[in-house]
Amino acid sequence: MATSSDQQVRPIFTDKEHYFKALTHFTSKSDNLEVIQSWVDSEDFGPAILDKMELLLKSPEDELRMLGVGSGSGDMELIFLKKLLTRLMNIEACVLEPCRDLISKYQDLVDANEKDLEGIEYEWRQQSLEEYGQTCRYFEEGPKFHFISVVHSIYYVNELESALKLLHGMLEPGGALLITIVTEDTGLGLIWKTFPDLVQPTAEEGAASGCPTSRPNHRRNSTQVKEALNKLKIEYTSYNYTVRTDIGSCLEDQSTPESHLVLDFLAHTVNFHESAPEKLQEDFLKCLKEKCVELKDGISYFLNKMDVFVIYG
Ligand SMILES: C[S@@+](CC[C@H](N)C(=O)[O-])C[C@H]1O[C@@H](n2cnc3c(N)ncnc32)[C@H](O)[C@@H]1O
């Protein structure tokens, strides 16, 4: 197992602007949106989510309350929202997203899709799940939601069990919580398992970033979610899909700005190419090439197998 005890590589969340750039570049190379779209159009999503939402609300005019956790630039959430609008007319969507640039991007996307999103009222909150959880405690009973979407963001919560408990407690009876997360043995899950000490932020760095998600152990996988749900005795149904990201140019040449962004996203670091020791960089690339990549039509794809958990309130 590779270790990096003698080096100082900064975690990516200590620089939210850099996280924004690296995430945006990485997702532009992936088929994430197409894959989620076909999952939402598949036979799974209708019975698991749409039918349940219709049952929960007395009529299509009743308002559905949705919470997005770590909504990012909103592309994923719009897929869910547009699908919900095929059956329901009014949605109140609360967006929790700690990164300001991502909220702005989501707001631009909403403006650009105004016509397709008629019936949706947005509440924007630049907050982490933990910060929102604290706010809820001020109310006698926190707000409850019919649908909560946590797509690729449960990785970063401080305490997995408390986060799951909090999310489950925010569901209306009969409401649905959808969590997607990478499996332990593919893609980011595999990298985080192989290089557990990749980043070692000091407490000061974490505090200075103003981001509660900058501690090193925020690299979760679906096995940990399963274990936590079992421990909490929360029942779930699970589905899966695979996301592919073209990282071919990064594997060929690590000296370009684009390759730096890809490496930073994969390692969840800032300036991996400058700050990581040479040996660590070699091991990291070797792991990418040998364990994380699938060659298809001459293109090297980084493979993330994802688990989707659906939990009812
Ligand atoms: C990989 S991105 C996924 C974004 C979006 N859901 C998507 O699938 O495109 C993870 C998101 O979680 C957000 N995030 C990080 N820590 C968080 C926390 N503690 N609570 C809520 N969101 C968080 C990040 O800012 C980022 O937007």
Among 128, 153, 167, residue to substitute to test ligand 1 (most atoms within 8 Å of Cβ): 153
Ligand 1 centroid distance, CA of 61 (Å): 30
Closest CA to 143 of 113, 110, 182, 169: 169
Residue type, 8: Q
Cα separation values, 161 from 166, 224, 227, 232, 277, Å: 8, 10, 9, 8, 34
**CB within 6 Å of ligand 1 — which residues?**
23, 69-72, 75-76, 96-99, 102, 128-130, 151-153, 156-157, 213
Nearest-5° Cα angle at 71, 57 to 275: 160
How far apart (Å, rounded) are the C-alpha atoms in residues 261 and 239? 30
- Cα 289 off chain centre by: 24
Contacts of 206 (CB under 8 A, 6+ apart): 14, 212, 214, 215
pLDDT value, residue 284? 96
Residue type, 298: G
Ligand 1 centroid distance, CA of 58 (Å): 32
In three-state secondary structure terms, 29 is coil
Give all domains of the chain, ordered by start, each with its CATH number: 17-245+305-312 (3.40.50.150)
Ligand 1 centroid distance, CA of 77 (Å): 12
pLDDT in tens, the chain (313 residues): 344 444 578 888 888 899 999 999 999 999 999 999 999 999 999 999 999 999 999 888 899 999 999 999 999 999 999 999 999 999 999 999 999 999 999 999 999 999 999 999 999 999 999 999 988 766 667 779 999 999 999 998 989 999 999 999 999 999 999 999 999 999 999 998 999 877 765 555 444 444 444 444 568 999 999 999 999 999 999 999 999 999 999 999 999 999 999 999 999 999 999 999 999 999 999 999 999 999 999 999 999 999 999 999 9
Ligand 1 centroid distance, CA of 152 (Å): 7
Q: Check: CB of residue 177 under 8 Å from CB of residue 167.
A: yes
Ligand 1 centroid distance, CA of 50 (Å): 24
Angle in degrees, 0-180, between the axes of helices 16-28 and 100-112, rounded to the nearest 10: 40
- Cα 207 off chain centre by: 22
Cα separation values, 189 from 155, 177, 248, 275, Å: 10, 22, 20, 22
pLDDT value, residue 201? 54
Protein residue closest via CA to atom 3 of ligand 1? 152
Ligand 1 centroid distance, CA of 131 (Å): 14
Q: Check: CB of residue 225 under 8 Å from CB of residue 307.
A: yes
How far apart (Å, rounded) are the C-alpha atoms in residues 198 and 5? 8
Q: Work out which ligand 1 atom sits closest to the CA atom of 150.
A: 6
pLDDT value, residue 217? 54
Instruction: Please give the structure tokens belonging to residue 125.
Output: 């909150």
Protein residue closest via CA to atom 11 of ligand 1? 70
Protein residue closest via CA to atom 4 of ligand 1? 72
Q: Check: CB of residue 2 under 8 Å from CB of residue 194.
A: yes
- Cα 2 off chain centre by: 26
Q: Check: CB of residue 129 under 8 Å from CB of residue 157.
A: yes
pLDDT value, residue 200? 60
* pLDDT, tens only, 221-277: 999 999 999 999 999 999 999 999 999 999 999 999 999 999 999 999 999 999 999
Per the document, the length of the chain is 313
Q: Read out DSSP for 291-309?
A: IIEEEETTEEEEEEEEEEE
205-223: string of b/e by CB count within 10 Å (b at 16+)?
Answer: bbeebebbbbbeebbbbbe
Name the pTM for this structure. 0.91
